């Protein structure tokens, strides 16, 4: 008998491996944060003993979902400015919030986002923090990610222009300053949390960066092997402003400056021409599809089926809670499928299996982590969650994939494990005081709304008075 740290047995194991194998009475053995074995319970239980054994009878075991795009601090602005397009909304809601928040507020609100991400079955997240100048605010988000137990990538944003587009001067700094700070963050945090933390770069949008800023970001990314993520063609404003400033559309401009590459995670990609898609395909750019945010902000419908047919890797993101109002990856799974069905007027364009692939294998590949996460296979990281279907919303189950995409909610995600650590167990976080965090975050968000002026958006509306 071999010793394991954790044994989960008698589960319906959805491996999401190459052959999409499902093990009816399956088990996983976890050792040192990795999957030491995946197989039928009879085999695994005969081979391993463990200090901790979870009996998962009647439950399904899925590989952790990968949320490839969010802004964790935006939990602060849930329910503020929900009827605005993206350019108006960032100016009225998120920019004033970002330049007002304190490190403690950022920590608490980011932690709320992380807890919901874990409760919705996601085990990896890509954060995209606004380019605030106080290093303590960046540290606060990273602290929250590490404390939550999530696997994740923190992206330091480069934003060296954009006052003409309404970006506050406090959120603009020379590219070399932003990149010097990125180098410090990489030095300090890359590989932290037993390798859970990665540090990369981000660009807010093409209307917040100069041509030299784009080139400097690409140079830094190549030198430091730091991946880049960028909002691209979220609204029509991207192409309009790039044409005016540079005389060409956004994606050709990015190609011209060398920004496109397999390490670029392109977020939204709503307004894409066939030429844009071909340029992406040539450089193997990765896609973060944020269906809920695109609907919430009225941005449009990204041509995901076309992008997938061009051979591009599709992954799913919630986007920040400000343009979604939650961080629920299960809701995102559902909307991601539904929005494409609406666009195509064809229910068969996205199967439940495809949506689950986007959220697992696609997410892993988008982050170049396909050797580590995205499926339940021996040797990979032990990132997974258990679904108990016995709620009215999810019962009865026939096809577990269809249940996950269309019926399940956070109440069904009973246990979430990241890097072999059981973070959520039978619906309770074992490592953090969730109730206390939520109450303190509520107070922080209300104080922040008053100080940043966003509370004015609530004129003549009901205000929440916490008990
Ligand atoms: Zn975003």
- Ligand 1 mean position to 286 CA, how many Å? 15
- 22-36, 208-222, 287-301, 446-460: range with lowest mean pLDDT: 446-460
Distances from the Cα of 295 to the Cα of 13, 100, 124, 323, angstroms? 33, 28, 23, 9
CA of 129 to the centre of ligand 1 (A): 9
How far does residue 320's CA lie from ligand 1's centre (Å)?
6
How far, in Å, from the CA of 121 to the mean position of ligand 1? 20
The CA 302 to ligand 1 mean position distance, Å, reads 14
Mean pLDDT, the chain, rounded, equals: 96
Q: If you measure from the C-alpha of residue 430 to the centroid of ligand 1, how many angstroms do you get, rounded to a whole number?
A: 30
Q: What is the pLDDT of residue 40?
A: 98
pLDDT at residue number 81: 83
Give, rounded to a whole angstrom, the gap between the first and last alpha carbons of the chain. 54
Give percent above pLDDT 90 in the chain. Answer: 94
Task: Answer yes or no: is 32 within a domain.
Answer: yes
Whether 348 is in a domain gets the answer yes
In a domain, 217, yes or no: yes
Asked whether the predicted pLDDT for residue 340 surpasses 90, the reply is yes
CA atoms within 13 A on the CB side of 301: 14
204 C-alpha to ligand 1 centroid (Å): 8
What's the CATH number where 350 sits?
Answer: 3.20.20.140
Do 50 and 159 lie in one domain? The reply is: no
Q: Rounded to two decimals, what is the model's pTM?
A: 0.97
Identify the pLDDT of residue 456: 87
- In the reported structure, the alpha carbon of residue 462 is separated from the centroid of ligand 1 by a whole-number distance in angstroms of 28
Residues 206 and 286 in one domain: yes
pLDDT of residue 255: 98
Q: Given this model, what pLDDT does residue 457 score? A: 86
pLDDT at position 395 is: 97
The pLDDT, as a whole number, for residue 56 is 98
The total of other beta-carbon atoms located within 10 Å of residue 45's CB is: 18
Distance 74 CA to ligand 1 centre (A): 10
Ligand 1 centroid to Cα of residue 446, in Å, is 22
Q: What is the dihedral of CA 70, 72, 75, 81, to 10 degrees?
A: -50
Average pLDDT for residues 253-273, to the nearest whole number?
98
pLDDT of residue 270: 98
Cα 110 to ligand 1 centre (Å): 15
Whether 88 and 161 map to the same domain: the answer is: yes
d(CA 29, CA 39): 9
The reported pLDDT for the residue numbered 316 is 98
Domain that includes residue 326, residue range: 65-366
- Compute, in angstroms, the gap from residue 70 CA to the centroid of ligand 1: 6
Whether residue 308 is found in the same domain as residue 245: yes
In this structure, the answer to whether residues 240 and 122 fall within a common structural domain is: yes
Tell me which of 318, 350, 366 is where a domain ends.
Answer: 366
Using the predicted structure, report yes or no on whether residue 79 has a pLDDT greater than 90: no
| 398 in a structural domain | yes
CA of 128 to the centre of ligand 1 (A): 7
Whole-number Å distance, alpha carbon 397 to ligand 1 midpoint, is: 34
Residue 232 CA to ligand 1 center (angstroms) comes to: 10
Q: Write down which residue in 343, 366, 389 finishes a domain.
A: 366
Contacts of 279 (CB under 8 A, 6+ apart): 251, 252, 255, 260
* Residues 39, 87 within the same domain: no
Distance 267 CA to ligand 1 centre (A): 7
Question: Cα of 67 to ligand 1 centre, how many Å?
Answer: 12
Measured CA to CA, the distance from residue 279 to residue 262 in angstroms comes to 12
467: pLDDT confidence band, cut at 50, 70 and 90?
confident
Residues 6 or more apart from 309 whose CB is under 8 A from it?
A: none
Last residue of a domain, which of 348, 366, 384? 366
Residue 319 Cα to ligand 1 midpoint, Å, equals 5
pLDDT at 22: 98
Cα 46 to Cα 1, 23, 302: the distances in Å are 7, 16, 49
Q: Is residue 358 located within the same domain as residue 378?
A: no
Residue 444 covered by a domain: no
Q: Identify whether 415 is part of a domain.
A: yes
pLDDT band at residue 87 under the 50/70/90 scheme: confident
**Residue 197 falls within a domain, yes or no?**
yes
Please spell the DSSP secondary structure of 61-130, one letter per residue.
Answer: EEEPEEEEEE-GGGGGGTTSSTT--HHHHIIIIIHHHHTT--HHHHHHHHHHHHHHHHHTTEEEEEEE--
| Cα–ligand 1 centroid distance for 231 (angstroms) | 6
CA distance 414 to 120: 9
What is the rounded distance in angstroms from the CA atom of residue 234 to the CA atom of residue 403? 30
> Measured in angstroms, how far is the CA atom of residue 34 from the centroid of ligand 1?
31
Q: Is residue 442 part of a domain?
A: no
Question: Residue 133: which pLDDT band, with cuts at 50, 70 and 90?
Answer: very high
317 Cα–ligand 1 center, Å: 9
Q: pLDDT of 341-352, one tens digit each? A: 999 999 999 999
Q: Is there a single domain that holds both residue 346 and residue 408?
A: no
Domain shared by 348 and 391, yes or no: no
Per residue in 407-462, pLDDT (tens digit) is 999 999 999 999 999 999 999 999 999 999 999 999 999 999 999 999 888 877 77
Ligand 1 centre from 288 Cα, in Å? 10
Check if the beta carbon of residue 87 is closer than 8 Å to that of residue 167: no
Alpha-carbon span 330 to 355, nearest angstrom: 10
Q: What is the H or E stretch that residue 251 is in? A: helix 250-256
Residue 294 pLDDT > 90, yes or no?
yes
pLDDT surpassing 90 at residue 304: yes
For the chain, the domain total comes to 2
388 and 242, same structural domain? no
Average pLDDT on 174-185 reads 98
Q: Is a pLDDT exceeding 80 seen at residue 466?
A: no
172 C-alpha to center of ligand 1: Å?
17
Distance 268 CA to ligand 1 centre (A): 8
Residue 205 Cα to ligand 1 middle (Å): 10
Ligand 1 centroid, distance to 71 Cα (angstroms): 6
**Do 52 and 69 reside in the same domain of the chain?**
no
CA of 324 to the centre of ligand 1 (A): 10
Does the pLDDT at position 311 exceed 90? yes
Query: What are the pLDDT digits (tens) for 16-25?
Result: 999 999 999 9
pLDDT band with cut points at 50, 70 and 90 for residue 373: very high
Q: Are residues 244 and 279 in the same domain?
A: yes
CATH number, domain of 22, equals 2.30.40.10
């Amino acid at each position: 008998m071999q010793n394991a740290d954790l044994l989960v047995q008698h589960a319906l194991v959805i491996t999401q491996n190459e052959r999409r194998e499902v093990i009816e009475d399956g088990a996983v053995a976890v050792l040192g944060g990795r999957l030491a074995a995946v197989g039928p319970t009879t085999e695994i239980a005969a081979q391993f003993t463990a200090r901790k054994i979870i009996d998962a009878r009647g439950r399904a075991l899925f590989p952790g979902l990968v949320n490839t795009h969010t802004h964790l601090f935006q939990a602060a602005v849930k329910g503020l400015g929900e009827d605005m397009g993206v350019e108006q909304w960032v100016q009225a809601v998120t920019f004033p919030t970002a330049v007002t928040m304190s490190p403690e507020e950022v920590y608490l609100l980011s932690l709320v986002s992380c807890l919901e991400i874990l409760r919705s079955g996601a085990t990896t997240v890509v954060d995209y923090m606004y380019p605030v100048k106080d290093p303590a605010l960046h540290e606060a988000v990273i602290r929250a990610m590490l404390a939550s137990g999530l696997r994740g990538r923190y992206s330091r944003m480069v934003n060296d222009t954009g006052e003409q587009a309404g970006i506050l001067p406090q959120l603009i700094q020379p590219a070399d300053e932003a990149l010097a700070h990125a180098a410090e963050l990489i030095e300090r945090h890359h590989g932290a949390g037993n390798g859970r933390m990665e540090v990369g770069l981000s660009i807010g949008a093409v209307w917040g960066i100069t041509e030299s800023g784009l080139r400097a970001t690409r140079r830094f990314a190549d030198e430091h092997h730091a991946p880049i993520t960028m909002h691209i063609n979220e609204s029509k404003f991207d192409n309009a402003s790039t044409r005016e400033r540079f005389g060409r559309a956004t994606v050709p401009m990015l190609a011209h400056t060398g920004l496109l590459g397999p390490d670029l995670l392109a977020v939204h990609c709503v307004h894409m021409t066939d030429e844009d898609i071909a340029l992406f395909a040539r450089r193997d750019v990765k896609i973060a599809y944020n269906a809920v945010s695109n609907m919430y902000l009225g941005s449009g419908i990204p041509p995901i089926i076309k992008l997938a047919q061009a051979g591009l890797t599709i992954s799913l993101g919630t986007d920040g809670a400000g343009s979604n109002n939650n961080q629920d990856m299960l809701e995102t799974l559902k909307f991601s499928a539904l929005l494409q069905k609406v666009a195509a007027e064809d229910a068969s364009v996205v199967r439940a299996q495809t949506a689950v692939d986007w959220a697992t294998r696609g997410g892993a590949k988008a982050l170049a982590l396909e050797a580590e996460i995205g499926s339940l296979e021996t040797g990979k990281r032990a990132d997974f969650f258990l679904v108990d279907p016995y709620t009215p919303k999810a019962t009865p189950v026939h096809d577990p994939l269809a249940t996950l995409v269309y019926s399940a909610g956070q109440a069904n995600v009973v246990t979430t494990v990241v890097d072999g650590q059981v973070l959520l167990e039978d619906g309770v976080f074992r490592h953090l005081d969730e109730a206390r965090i939520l109450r303190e975050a509520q107070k922080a968000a209300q104080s922040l709304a008053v100080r940043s002026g966003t509370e004015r958006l609530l004129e003549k509306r009901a205000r929440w008075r916490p008990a």
